[in-house]
């Protein structure tokens, strides 16, 4: 089990989860109940497991030629990964049935979005934005789970998440720019070059902050909501300062720690009305 969790980078679930739960709290105007909380959590786990195993399967040969990712596929057999991907997708759709009809109807759309990302680096430099779209599904899905409909506020939040993820994945992609160029793969870093791509990432993270403030205003959040957002610019300043060094170990540490804290701060901010 530990090998499989490493294979799908289960720890990275913590990036999207706080935004999904925060959206859930705001949509419910408080605690939605243990049943709905559990179902949303299950959907998050099943959807991400399906998406990550699909990505690993599609990139199996490419990852084996990348020194940074070459060891991934010693952890899980490819046939087992295919089975887990299919089962996880079915479990995701089955879980949405227990939430509401709208979630179930839209569940195949969500799977298409999160699976499609894995193809994008083969034909577009906007691959990081498609990854952002895949994670942005989470807060919208959680909102629909609670309310049964899509609102403008969760769409603003989703747009912020999209920019946030695209920004930090640009930073992450600086590690693979040489391999991507050799393999003929596309990314913002390959297209723009490292310095310009990192400048774009800074603007994307600035937009996240704007989106979070706008989301708070639209949903009439408490004053304390904004206090929890206040440290985020400092976190991004730290992350981008480390990114400039182009030192892989430092980038990985700053990437994980900073973005986990951003998610936790947002989640705490939305819990002020509980």
CATH code of domain 2-273:
1.10.357.140
Spans of all domains in the chain: 2-273
Report percent pLDDT > 70 for the chain.
Answer: 88
Q: What is the pTM of this model?
A: 0.90
Mean pLDDT, range 204-230, rounded to an integer = 95
The DSSP line for 109-154 is: HHHHHHHHHHHHTTT-TTHHHHHHHHHHHHHHHHHHHHHSS--HHH
Q: Is a pLDDT exceeding 50 seen at residue 162?
A: yes
Residues with Cβ within 8 Å of 108's Cβ and at least 6 positions away in sequence, in order, are 93
Return d(Cα 21, Cα 51) in angstroms, integer.
19
Say if CB 259 and CB 242 are below 8 A apart.
Answer: no
Please report how many Cα atoms fall inside a 13 Å half-sphere around the Cα of residue 42, on the Cβ side.
Answer: 19
Tell me how many degrees the CA angle 27-28-30 measures, rounded to the nearest 5.
120
Return d(Cα 63, Cα 68) in angstroms, integer.
8
Mean of the per-residue pLDDT values of the chain? 88
Q: Is a pLDDT exceeding 50 seen at residue 160?
A: yes
Torsion of CA 257, 258, 264, 266, to 10 degrees: -170
**Tens-digit pLDDT profile for residues 239-265:** 888 888 767 677 777 777 888 999 999
């Amino acid at each position: 089990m530990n090998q499989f969790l490493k294979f799908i980078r289960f720890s990275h679930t913590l990036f999207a989860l706080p935004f999904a739960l925060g959206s859930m709290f705001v949509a419910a105007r408080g605690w939605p109940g243990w049943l709905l909380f559990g179902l949303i959590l299950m959907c998050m786990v099943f959807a991400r497991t399906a998406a990550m195993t699909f990505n690993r399967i599609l990139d199996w040969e490419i990852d084996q030629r990348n020194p940074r990712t070459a060891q991934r596929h010693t952890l899980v057999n490819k046939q087992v990964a295919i089975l887990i991907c299919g089962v996880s997708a079915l479990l995701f759709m089955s879980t949405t049935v227990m939430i509401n009809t709208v979630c179930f109807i839209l569940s195949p759309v969500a799977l298409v979005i999160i699976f499609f990302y894995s193809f994008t680096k083969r034909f577009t430099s906007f691959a990081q934005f498609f990854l952002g779209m895949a994670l942005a599904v989470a807060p919208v899905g959680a909102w629909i789970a609670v309310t049964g409909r899509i609102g403008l506020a969760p769409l603003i939040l989703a747009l912020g998440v999209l920019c946030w993820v695209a920004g930090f994945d640009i930073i992450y992609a600086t590690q693979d720019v040489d391999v991507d160029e050799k393999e003929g793969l596309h990314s913002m870093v390959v297209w723009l070059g490292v310095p310009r791509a990192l400048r774009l990432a800074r603007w994307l993270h600035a937009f996240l902050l704007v989106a979070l403030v706008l989301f708070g205003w639209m949903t009439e959040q408490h004053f304390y909501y904004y206090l929890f957002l206040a440290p985020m610019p400092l976190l991004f300043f730290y992350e981008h300062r480390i990114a400039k060094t182009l030192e892989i170990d430092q980038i990985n540490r700053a990437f994980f720690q900073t973005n986990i804290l951003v998610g936790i701060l947002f989640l705490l901010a939305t819990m002020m009305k509980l």
